[in-house]
Structure 1
Amino acid sequence: MKKEKVLRDNSHRWLLLARFCLIVLILVWMYVIFRFSAQNGTNSHEASDHVVDLLQRIVYVMTGKDVSVILATGSYRMYIEFAVRKCAHMFIYFVLSINVMLLLFTYKRMPMLKRMFISLLVCFLYACTDEFHQRFSAGRGASFRDVLIDTSGAAFGLIAALIIFCVIFTIYTTHQQRKIAKYNASLQ
């Protein structure tokens, strides 16, 4: 009886530690998003330019084709930079939603749909506040379209978190079934 209580207390401590770490991770990631939003328009544009240049180099290394000539002659660079910026929006909220879902997975009695709704709501509300914050950065503006892009990145993060959860749950249940089978075999 005493051993069961000790095990229960230890697992509860680990659960609290995991929740604390996940909350800290979420807050750190929100701070990262906040810092990106605080960049002025020039710095944000330069960061996007660096990514586009990196993509050009990758294309050159992989294909031997220099796409910088094509990008310089048309407005292609502007379209690629736009896509890079929107993918960055999606990615940061993809990560945020996975972190929020991981935290919500620590609450065993919470239904999965409720977890998904809370995670998406947290990401949507933070995207709204993020866009509002961007209004105060020089050369930047707020856009509800960006909120929707952020939220769609969060939705993809939910899907990824569910896949991760299913894989971990399958591994865990398989391990438990093997332990039970081994225990039953030892009784015979």
Structure 2
Amino acid sequence: MADTVPEVFTTEAAEAYTEEGHGGAPTHVEPELWGLAPFQVVSVAMFVLLLIAFFGAKVHKTIGGGLDARIAAIRTQLDEAKQLRAEAETLRDEYAAKIKGAEQDAEAMMTNARHEADALLAKAEADSTAMVERRKRMAEDKISAAEREAVEEVRNRAVFAATTASRKLIAAKHDAEADRALADQVIANI
């Protein structure tokens, strides 16, 4: 081979690699790739290209079929996801309505409880006022009964004292003669 290194860009014509052949005459040397001549490299390349085209089409169909199946599975999953999302939104709306209803029920219950508590408080105040009035009347009745009893007792004692005193006076000042005159007078008045 020649000692010169080919330049990538040259303005001069590239020199052909030559070897000295038989008898010193130069011979043209063809480039080789893995020990194959250029027409053989082209033949192998065409053969590989045809194999790729033949089997590649089948592989392409297999890959395409697999991708189509995967796309169909993904579409099915997306449809299921859309359906689940719609169901979830329906459930969310339903529960939001239930929560709103529960809040309104709770508010109504609180209002009702306040009204009942106010009514119970008013009733308790009225009952306690009535009870105080009853007890006051009972105390007044007991006081008046005690006064009546005291007055009655004073009267009874006064009557007893008066009868005792009158007996003593009558016994001391009246004798049998005065009793007869008094009895005659009472009989005459009848």
With the shorter chain as reference, the TM-score category is: under 0.3
Q: Rg bigger for which structure?
A: 2
Determine which structure has the larger helix proportion and give its number: 1
